[in-house]
Amino acid sequence: MKMLLICLGALVATLLGATVLREPTATAAQTVGATIVGPLDAAGNVKVHEQGTASVASADETQLLLERRFSDAGQSETLDVSAYRTIRVSFSDCGRADGSPVYLDLYELTPAGGRYPVDRITPSCGGELSRTFDVPGRTIQLSVGDLARPQFSVAVYGRAN
């Protein structure tokens, strides 16, 4: 009995679909003809505001944050490093005339005005040194030690990944 009702229901649905519902089904299946009237470029393509190849910077790309030659004691440089996970400080020492080493202090600056030492970089005279740090905070300060006329270069790189 159950099988008979299922077969009868399928037969009624087929007859209704082929006769009564034929027109609405055919209308719904038609394709829509769309004509784009503008704005078009000279080649007939839809015109867009930005054209060309997009420039995308990789998230793991190293960025140069600072490149500076220090020549006087007491000079400092403050950098916002909040966008980076690690920084690398490269230090090239040209030394003092008497051959004694120069040094560079790295401090973490806090929003409340605190200044906390992170490291002191002291390469051998005439040498180069590069150190990598996990970013200690949002702002760092590089400061030249209390020396008479040091001559050296510093480069700071940041990496976001």
Q: Where are the domains of the chain?
A: 70-159
Portion of the chain with pLDDT greater than 90, in percent: 1
Q: Is 159:76 a contact under the CB 8 Å cutoff?
A: no
Q: Is 152:83 a contact under the CB 8 Å cutoff?
A: no
Provide the token pair at 111. 């929003």
Mean pLDDT of 95-111: 75
The confidence band for 68, taking pLDDT boundaries of 50, 70 and 90, is confident
One of 3.30.379.10, 2.60.120.380, 2.40.110.10, 1.20.1260.10 is the CATH number of 70-159, namely 2.60.120.380
Q: Is 91:69 a contact under the CB 8 Å cutoff?
A: no
List, for residues 9-47, the tens digit of each pLDDT value: 887 777 766 676 666 666 666 666 667 677 777 887 777
Its pTM stands at: 0.55
Could you tell me which residues are beta bridge partners of residue 106?
119, 142
Residue 46's nearest CA partner among 38, 54, 34 is 38
With a cut of 60, say whether residue 148 has pLDDT above it. Answer: no
Q: How far apart are CA 104 and CA 123, in angstroms?
A: 9
The confidence band for 97, taking pLDDT boundaries of 50, 70 and 90, is low
3-state secondary structure of 136: coil
Q: How far apart are CA 137 and CA 132, in angstroms?
A: 14
With a cut of 80, say whether residue 64 has pLDDT above it. Answer: yes
